Amino acid sequence: MSLANYAGAQIALGVNIDHVATLREARRTRYPSVIHAALTAEQAGADSITAHLREDRRHIQPRDIDLLKELLQTRLNLEMAVTEEMLDVACHVQPYATCLVPERREELTTEGGLDVAGNLPRIREACARLASAGVLVSLFIDARPEQIEAAFEAGAPAVELHTGHYADAANDDERDRMLEQLSEMARFAATGGLRVHAGHGLNYHNVIPVCRIGVIRELNIGHAIVAQAVLVGFGAAVRQMKGLIQAAGVE
């Protein structure tokens, strides 16, 4: 697809259900069910479901991944660290896609992008292994030229640009700068042939400018949707987000 054709294309919504599991694991109960949430999200318009199986298993559990793989009608995107254990899991489960992220036990959430430039041989090998298992790989990276160049070299078909710095900007000027950087880097990545996704910290108030960047094909959104679901229900929360994304593409 040429860059010009991207403008009118639909942006897919990946719903991250990690924090449904966070609520469940807070009391080690059977509820709320991540499967119920995922299937509801699909019915409400989610194009894929993302789940991060962390090394410390703080929210999503291995059984959730097996059930999601079996029951989803759309696509499973497995978010994971680049470890031998997780590569074995991904090659065994064979989700539609994986998103490779950095992982530190002490972090509240994924804090920065993967340092692809600093770990190129290991990440290139991981991309090759996942590709040979038939799994689409995206690399979660900061919107920086050296990371995008490294993603080209790693042989990944997709990148997910980290929108957390944009979402967390302290004021309007910083937010505009971060948006401009995301926009420039999204174009750089797309021009080089990468499929461009984005995510982290996106919510009902900040998602529209990111949709309007134009070359982004998929957004992965979790915390804001789960938080909204507490107030309006999971299906309604997903429909509201999907509606914003679709409307942003139309104008």
223 binding ligand PXP? (CB under 6 A): yes
Interface pick for ligand PXP out of 39, 182, 202, 216 (rule CB under 6 A): 202
Q: Do 241 and 202 touch, CB atoms closer than 8 A?
A: no
Q: Is 153 a catalytic residue?
A: no
What tokens appear for 3 in the block? 């860059």
3-state secondary structure 39-84: HHHHHCCCCEEEEECCCCCCCCCHHHHHHHHHHCCCCEEEEECCCH
Place of tokens 């929108």: 163
Interface pick for ligand PXP out of 13, 46, 80, 99 (rule CB under 6 A): 99
Q: What is the dihedral of CA 34, 39, 42, 48, to 10 degrees?
A: 50
Contacts with ligand PXP, 147-166, as mask; x by CB under 6 A: -------------x------
Toward ligand PXP, which CB reaches closer, 89 or 101? 101
Q: Is 200 a catalytic residue?
A: yes
The span from the CA of 73 to the CA of 44, in Å, is 12
Interface pick for ligand PXP out of 77, 110, 147, 228 (rule CB under 6 A): 110
Span of 38-46, 65-73, 170-178, 193-201 interacting with ligand PXP by CB under 6 A: 193-201
User: What is the contact surface with ligand PXP in residues (CB under 6 A)?
Assistant: 16, 18, 52, 79, 99, 101, 109-110, 140, 160, 199-202, 220-224
